[in-house]
């Protein structure tokens, strides 16, 4: 029987030996806390929330329920949406209590992720 040679992309430990499967970190894990702000994740959404400040009653339900902390608040009032991190889930619009027309409505994102 012949030994197979390790490929050049095989992981090795500090002593030069091969790492076992338990020693190689899993992909997709967050290894340090508080790093989400470093990654702009809003570019792949298909729907985009639009905030209408004239209709907004500043109840902050959108801010409370947003899973991405994308609702921008200053002095107790909604001042905008962080489109760099908003994924377009629509929770902010669904939770908005303003009727008959919501203060946050969802529109199709045409690829322009700048603030409106």
Count other Cβ atoms within 10 Å, centred on residue 70: 22
- pLDDT of 116 strictly over 50: no
- Alpha-carbon gap, residue 109 to 112, rounded angstroms: 7
Q: What average pLDDT is seen over the chain? A: 84
Tell me the sheet residues that pair with 49: 106
**DSSP assignment string, 61-100:** HHHHH-TT--EEEETTEEEEE-TTT-----HHHHH----S
* Residue boundaries of the structural domains of the chain: 52-108
The residue among 100, 102, 103, 71 whose CA lies nearest residue 87 is 71
Overall fold of domain 52-108: Alpha-Beta Plaits (3.30.70)
Write out pLDDT tens, residues 4-19.
554 445 555 566 678 7
pTM of the model: 0.67
């Amino acid at each position: 029987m012949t030994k197979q040679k390790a490929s050049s992309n095989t992981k090795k430990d500090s002593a030069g030996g091969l790492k076992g499967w338990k020693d190689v970190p899993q992909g997709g894990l967050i290894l340090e806390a508080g790093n989400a702000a470093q990654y702009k994740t809003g570019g792949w959404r298909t729907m985009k929330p639009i905030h209408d400040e004239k209709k907004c009653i500043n109840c902050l339900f959108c801010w409370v329920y947003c899973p991405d902390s994308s609702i921008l608040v200053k002095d107790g009032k909604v001042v905008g949406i962080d489109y760099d991190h908003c994924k377009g889930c629509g929770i902010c619009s669904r939770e908005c209590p303003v009727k008959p027309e919501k203060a946050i409505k969802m529109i199709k994102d045409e690829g322009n992720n700048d603030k409106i």
